[in-house]
Amino acid sequence: MKKILSLLFIGWVYCTTAVGAKSGTTTGNEDRIVWLSTMLKIANPVLTNGSNCTLKQNMPYESLGDRKEFSYLEALGRTICGVAPWLELGPDDTPEGKLRQHYLVLAVNSITHAVNPNSPDYMVFDKPYQPLVDAAFLAQGLLRSPTQLWANLPQQTKKNVIAALKLSRAIRPFESNWLLFASMVEAALLEFNNEYDADRLFYGVKKFRDDWYKGDAHYGDGPAYHADYYNSFVIHPMLTDIMRILDKHNMDDDGFYRLQQVRLSRYAEQQERMISPEGTYPVLGRSIVYRTGVFHALGQAALLGLLPTTVEPAQVRCALTEVIKRQYESPDNFDEAGWLRVGFNGSQIDMSEAYINTGSLYLCLSGFLPLGLKADNAFWVAPAADWTTRKAWGGEPVKADAATRQ
């Protein structure tokens, strides 16, 4: 397994140097190596220590605030949320398939320890307020890998997960994107246990559907609009996954799932246009140290086949490949043991808020969701393509942009 990892990391170095000098000319296979090796480099310390029941022992704590007891669930829940679609592809005899088998075992073990009350790595799920957030990210990850991750959990672990998710009901969410954390937990309980708290499940969905939509695919984070990336970090991805479960259970009486898919598609179109010709994007709003988590919604739209007709999958692949290279090019992104450091492209703790800590940073993995598409999917096999801003700044034809009326 170490040999396979080494080969991937060698491939990552090759693609970010020799090939990266002519960005936008790489093959889909070369791009996938960049994505996969970067994702695993980030996730490996969390899942390896989680599997060995040493996450609390070995994970560092870097923060401007004091929330250490919650940081472990943050790291695990956000890591699972990001890697789950890739794990859902399942093991096979290819080098990548063998890696999935390896990391699937690590993920199952990590979750088992995290929800076992007798484990040294047992995590806090019921103490206000942060655990509600990361119980939701863990639940979202499990919903994204029902066959490989949820189904492979031991029966006692499944019971412990359900018990842990229920503990988060002790936490009352704020009137903001937090409402969707409660809804996501209940959606997972509906799916896995056929039990749910109707008020917590539907209240957040209805607030965003009926009261907080601002137009052109943007929701308010509560009653007010905020100029940040929370529509991507949380709102669009969670609304979409919650509504998918409600639709599956014939509980989407108003047809909101279809409308939310349209809005996600439009927001993804906007996100693709935010990526500069050089693979950078606006450093805007709070939680910016979540790095590639900024593109959670764009990655989800690609994963679910919801990219708009104006955006070819290869455009998104090539654009995000450049972002990944730029975002993680500095070795200062990682400490000597491989853990992420607080920052945007390096060690930059003053760019963070007091609620940010080492564990929080692993939401960056939600930007890697398209790895859940098979290697022969058009996203990966189509020839390299310029994205919108590269075309526009290069004088190539670009169609006019238009707002959605839905």
Give 103-154 pLDDT, tens digit per residue: 999 999 999 999 999 999 999 999 999 999 999 999 999 999 999 999 999 9
Q: Given this model, what pLDDT does residue 13 score?
A: 47
Taking 50 as the pLDDT cut, the residues of the chain under it are 9-22
Q: Given this model, what pLDDT does residue 19 score?
A: 40
What are the tens digits of pLDDT across the range 42-88?
999 999 999 999 999 999 999 999 999 999 999 999 999 999 999 99
Domain ranges of the chain: 2-393
pTM of the model: 0.95
Residue 283 neighbours by CB distance under 10 Å:
10
What's the Cα-to-Cα distance from 337 to each of 33, 96, 154, 221, rounded to whole Å?
22, 24, 30, 36
Please report where in the chains the tokens 């492979």 appear, as a residue.
152
Mean pLDDT score across all residues of the chain:
95
Q: Given this model, what pLDDT does residue 1 score?
A: 52
* Burial grade of 350 (CB within 10 A; 0-12, 13-18, 19 or more): exposed
CA atoms within 13 A on the CB side of 151: 8
Q: Given this model, what pLDDT does residue 26 score?
A: 85
- Tokens encoding 143: 């919903």
- Tokens encoding 269: 């179109």
* 2-393 topology per CATH: Glycosyltransferase (1.50.10)
